[in-house]
Structure 1
Amino acid sequence: MRRFWRDIKGQSLIEVLIGLAIGAVLIGAASLGVTFMLRSSAASQNVQIGTGLAQDLVDKARSVSAAKWQDIYHLTKGTSTSYFVNAFGTQLVVVEGQEGVISNENTNGLVGYWKFDEATSTATTTTFDASGKSNHGTLTSGVSRATSTCKVSYCLDFDGVDDYVDSGSGSSLDITQNVTLVSWVKLDTYTSGGTNTDRASIVQKTGQYYMTVNSANGTLDAFFGGVTGSHTPSNSTVSLNQWMHTAITYDGANIKWYIDGVLDKTSAATGTITSDPRSVRIGGEPAFGRFLNGSIDEVRVYNRALSADEIQRLWNSVPFTHYFNVGNVNRDTNGNIVSSGGNEDPSTQKITVTVQWPGSGSNVGQIQIVDYLTRWQNQVFQQSDWLGGSGQIGPITLPNSKYDSATSVSNPAGSIRIQGL
């Protein structure tokens, strides 16, 4: 392994070049970045986290290629198209886009987590739930995906008229005890452009719980159905035209409001939250015509009340972005990988994993890992009769009627294995 560190205007870059590794790999946890011990320097800590996130994505891509080679091989090649890997239950799924990850991740009690990091070119209207609870959302009425001016990687823009995300009514979202609602929001205006202009919805499960912005004065409004002392506003307002971190918790005794990581208000409240079959909706509630005009990122729902320290750590996290690009691999007649010439090896793909984070001033921290994924398990074709006489010699990319019987079936680079020989 070789590492190179360069400090240039606008960028700090570590390039980690890793050759083809043989052997099993372990899948890292989705929140690998938070397991590193604190270092004396914030920059050193970010390098550690970035390195861990990069290797974690390499391992996940390897796992995908081992399980279903086509999910890697058929991806669009080149640096203009980026991908990340999401874990849904026991499955790993490749998603086009650039995933955001924060340094102080907290998944304890997380039952809904919508990052909105899918690419703008993604044809689907789905936005994936990263909590592992499969509460995937559907973009409705023309919600726009944004790739710049977001808080953590990509985000969503809402027009304040009819846009919203429907995240369904999965059982994990039916919370009747303690709860926390969290989001990053950048408001263009306080006023909802819908039929009901009293407030604009950030995240809302009608009849059960919501976090909204009051259209009259920009306060953060809370509601928990069936809870005495609910339906009250924060003391402070949510500023316009800048990203603000908003959070509301209910612990069975108090409702607490947090704005940009700071406890803004505590209000006594008691009771069990009323269950309601309606969906969790983000950015708007069509039943009441409450639609938000602005951008939303990193929406979270927890089935417990986070502490003030946990809220502050979420707000104060360093945002990382990680993704990988895919490229074809060519080999020469000796089986060596070459940058030009040679023939394509259909059983090997090159991936370049990139992790970026904001540095001091205009600097950007970046780590890259280059790795090669090789198809070992899935068969390209089957040949039952090896007595067909003279045929093709060398790499085989498509099944033929017969093969050269005088040539040993082998590959010096080890990129193809013939099972049963």
Structure 2
Amino acid sequence: MISVLHRIEDLQVVCFAIIFSVMAWQMRKNKTIRYAWLSYVLASVVSVLDVAMPQPLSTLTVSCIFAIISIRYAILASAMSAFTRRSRWLAMVSYGVAALSASLLLLPRAGVAPFVISGLFYLFLAVQLSLMCVIVLLSKEKATRVPRRFIGVLFLLSVACRFAQTWAVWSHASARAAWWRDQGLFLNSTVIGCVLPFTIVWMMNARIQKDLLKQSLVDPLTELLNRRGLNDAAQRELSRYARVRQDFAVAVVDIDHFKTLNDSYGHACGDDVLRSTASLFRELLRQSDVVSRSGGEEFVLLLALTQESETLAVLERIRSAVAARTLQVGDATVQTTISIGATNTRGRFNLTWRELHDEADQALYAAKRGGRNRTALFDAQDTGASHGPEQGAVDVQSVA
């Protein structure tokens, strides 16, 4: 029965090696897949040796198989390190353990008993599995937390099996030792050989889903929330406001004369202005505030826990900082300004996001009508009250 199970496991390992070969070819830049493929190629080599060599296997053959498995574990540690993007030094330690395992090939010639050599191999493999467990659990990536913890449990189970095998080999209790050894081999083949590939794919899919969600919610140029991400954030803020009744402000920001800037200096310069403006917003606002690029040269700000009396001061500080900033474009220095329209919840009930955005939009138009480079607060009676005497424009100063 045990021999039949081993043959089934050998066939599974070869099948996974073929699957990972195809994946490695299709995703050649993915280090995790490449390392996983190499590890299963080595596992296939072990399976071939297990089938092709005459039974029972000689001490030298068994030692060679153990050394290959140790190298395979080191490569798997590199796969885990490549996936988590950290703990590379632990993978290097695993390669050091693999080198020690390979050195055990010299012990049979020195007359060391086979059971001592096997026990040392099992002990080294347990250490390598422990290193892989630490690598996957040290990562703090939330999107892959569940599959990483699952894989960590698998590695811990394998560590327990390897330690049990070490005890069984060194205990000299022949019948019981053989049982523990066979059960440990079966569990490790099942865990590492069969369950692990599915968990690796699970981890990769979790990260891909996170990346796709980010791409759908984040503007690639400025790395701010896009319109869809803004709508989600606005609904969360409205839900919070409905619960705790703490006011927040909404501001629509537009870069003055942006089309003229693009026409004069090119779209690359316009992109630099957008990125610089987004960066400035992130610096000046709190982590609880929301900054988004809703399209073109327009940004939307959600200022959490902000009273109506505080709104103007916060936005004027932002407007002044943008007006004071200069950008170097070739031999010219470009200075831009912004116009801001804002509104506040002001303790009102049953507000919708569209209503708040429309109010801020009306205030923005009032700011532009008032001469740009100014902040306007929405006034239901007067459609917006402008603030600031400056006349906004793209101010270009040639550099001598």
Asked if Structure 1 and Structure 2 have the same fold, meaning a TM-score greater than 0.5 normalized by the shorter chain, the answer is no
Q: Which is richer in strand?
A: 1
- Provide the TM-score with structure 2 as the length reference: 0.18
- CA radius of gyration, larger in: 2
Higher relative contact order (CA 8 A, sep 6+): 1
- Provide the TM-score with structure 1 as the length reference: 0.17
